[in-house]
Amino acid sequence: MLKRRRLILTTTLLYTLFILYFMFFAFGRGDSEVDSYTFIFVPDNFFKLPNPLEFLHPTIMDIVSLGNTAAFIPFGILIPLLYPIKFVRFIILFMLSILVLETIQAFTLRGSFDIGDVLKNSSGAVIGFVAYSVSIRMKGTWRSVITMGICIILLLVVSWGIGAGIDKAVAKNPGSFVALNEWENSSGVTSKKIALLPFKIEGQKITPQFNVYDANNKKSETYTYKFGGKDFYFYLNYGIPDQKDLKGSVSVSVDGRQIFLSNFEKDDPLRTPQVFDWYFEQANEITITIEGNEKVWDVGYREMKHFWE
C-alpha cells in the first residue's frame, strides 16, 4: 500500500512539473518582446465545439486549446487517489491554484492571465474527478480503467457541447443595418439628407438606397459621426460618376487614426463602384473625408449585439 502511494505521489509530482514547464517555458515563453502585463477577465469563448475536419490538420493553437482541458484531467484522478477529498473542496483548491499560476504567468511576462484558461483547466480537473468517482464503484481493475476512459470521453463531449451552447448564447452578432444619415460636416453643421438620385459609374446604374455624400461643391468635405465606443461593422460604397473629372479620393479615420484611403486618378483601372467594410471594436468617432468628384453612398453600420439586446 505504501509503495503504491509513493508511486502515485511520484507520478503526481512529475506530471505537475511537466505541466509547469508547459505553462512557463514551452512555446518560446520568455523569449518574446512583450513588456506589458496582460489580464483577460472575460473569456472570448468557454469551449469551442471542435470540428472533426480541423483535427485532420491541427494547428499549434488547436492542440493548445484542447490541451487546456485534457492536460488537467489527470489531476482529477491523481489527487483523490492520494488524498480522499470531497468534490467541493477539491475544485475550490484547484481553481485557487490555477488562479495563482495564471497570475504568476502574467507578472513574469511568460503568458497572460486568462480566465478562459482557468475555466478550461478546472473543467478538465472536474472531468477527471467525476470519471474517477464513477470508476471506483466498478469491480475489477480493468473494468474500472475502461469505465474511467469512457466517462472521460463522454464528459469531454458533453462539456464541449454545453460550452458551444454557452458560446452561441452569449456571443455578439451583427444587428440590423443602420444607415448614417446625419453627419457633422467640417463646418460643424449636421448634414441634411439629399435626394437619392441615380447616377452611373462605368455605365453601371447606381441608385442609392439610404444616403449619398460628396464634397459639397468644395475641394473637400469632412463628415464626422460619434459612436460612443460601440462594436460594429461599418460599410460604405464609393466611386466617381461618369461625365465627371476622374479625380477624387475618400479616406476613413477612426478616433483620429486613418485606416483607409482611396485615390482615383484619370487612368486608374478601378473605375467600377467599390465597397469598403471594416470591423471596429469600441470606436468612438469615425471621420470620412471626400475630395474632388468622389461620391460615397449607402453609409451605415451593423452593431454587434447579444441576443437579448
Specify whether 162 is located in the same domain as 51: yes
pLDDT tens digits, residue range 35-75? Answer: 677 777 766 655 554 444 455 555 555 566 677 888 999 99
pLDDT tens digits, residue range 165-192? Answer: 777 777 788 889 999 988 877 666 666 6
The number of domains in the chain is 2
Domain end point (choices 134, 149, 171): 171
Q: pLDDT value at position 112?
A: 80
Specify whether 102 is located in the same domain as 247: no
Quote the mean pLDDT of the chain: 83
pLDDT tens digits, residue range 192-214? Answer: 667 788 999 988 999 999 999 99
pLDDT band at 30 (very low <50, low <70, confident <90, very high): low
We report the CATH number of the domain holding residue 264 as 2.60.120.1060
CA 71 and chain centroid, separation: 23
Q: Side chain identity at 286, as an amino acid letter?
A: I
- Separation between Cα atoms, residue 93 and residue 87, nearest integer Å: 10
Q: pLDDT value at position 298?
A: 95
Specify whether 84 is located in the same domain as 216: no
Specify whether 282 is located in the same domain as 237: yes
Nearest to 274 by CA among 255, 306, 259, 296: 296
Specify whether 155 is located in the same domain as 197: no
Specify whether 97 is located in the same domain as 235: no
Q: Could you tell me what percent of the chain has a pLDDT over 90?
A: 41
Domain end point (choices 113, 143, 171): 171
Domain end point (choices 136, 171, 206): 171
CB-based contact 296:237 (threshold 8 Å): yes
CA separation (Å) from 233 to 229, 249, 284, 307?
A: 13, 22, 13, 17
pLDDT tens digits, residue range 82-93? Answer: 888 999 999 999
Specify whether 259 is located in the same domain as 287: yes
Cell triple for 54? 480541423
Give this prediction's pTM: 0.60
Specify whether 25 is located in the same domain as 131: yes
Specify whether 266 is located in the same domain as 210: yes
Specify whether 274 is located in the same domain as 211: yes
Nearest to 291 by CA among 200, 223, 196, 208: 223
Specify whether 159 is located in the same domain as 189: no
pLDDT tens digits, residue range 249-281? Answer: 999 999 989 999 988 765 566 678 999 999 998
Residue 100: count of CB within 10 angstroms of its CB: 10
Residues 6+ apart with CB under 8 A from 188: none
Q: pLDDT value at position 128?
A: 94
Specify whether 51 is located in the same domain as 14: yes
Domain limits at 94? 2-171
